[in-house]
A and B are shown apart, each in its own frame.
Chain A
């Protein structure tokens, strides 16, 4: 099974900062990598699919990049409402579909 590892596990940044979260797959997954945002007590929300495609309605400050085993989610200018936990998810080799362990983002 493919394992997904996110880093860092948590981070704190200021409003306006550029924030980067990374996700590494245990083997190549081409570009079959998706990113989700989850706020406390809420269901996850799809941000990015197929590594870099922005889901409809998601602000353009969110972007994704990478292929193979290494992927990045970038928030170009952090906003207060971006305080959340972010998860990556692979769909290259399924089942099982695997999520990363999550990255908790706090606002300073």
Chain B
């Protein structure tokens, strides 16, 4: 079964840090671009970042650029999101998602994790 399982969410104070993980199984993890997408309570989906299949390049939304770092360990089939200098507006459910055809332009997310909640509050 193709599966993505996020972990690492929780309550953190403003200015704090958190590291999310996403464990992949059931597919060749190293062949796919991976993404983080977040959803604030009651709001829509917002793309956060992506990383290429070979870990050669990452990109970020302007709202997290310089504060968040995405990485992957293809040997462990695991994706990470290091979140620093957290703000109240970062409060959201964070989903990892597998991207298909992302190197050809028609990038879509065919597999999603269940999400992990991050709450930034004092």
Interface residues of A (CB under 8 A from B): 31-32, 34, 36, 38, 43-46, 49-50, 55, 87, 89, 91-92, 94-102
Give chain A nearest CB distance to B39 CB in angstroms.
8
Name the residue on A nearest B115 (C-beta).
A43
User: Are B95 and A43 in contact (CB-based, < 8 A)?
Assistant: yes
Interface of A is mostly: loop
Given known A43-B95, A43-B112, A45-B112, contact A94–B44 (CB-CB < 8 A)? no
Interface residues of B (CB under 8 A from A): 35, 37, 44-47, 50, 59-62, 95, 100, 102, 105-110, 112-115
User: Are A98 and B110 in contact (CB-based, < 8 A)?
Assistant: no
Give chain B nearest CB distance to A9 CB in angstroms.
10
Give chain A nearest CB distance to B40 CB in angstroms.
12
User: Are B114 and A98 in contact (CB-based, < 8 A)?
Assistant: no
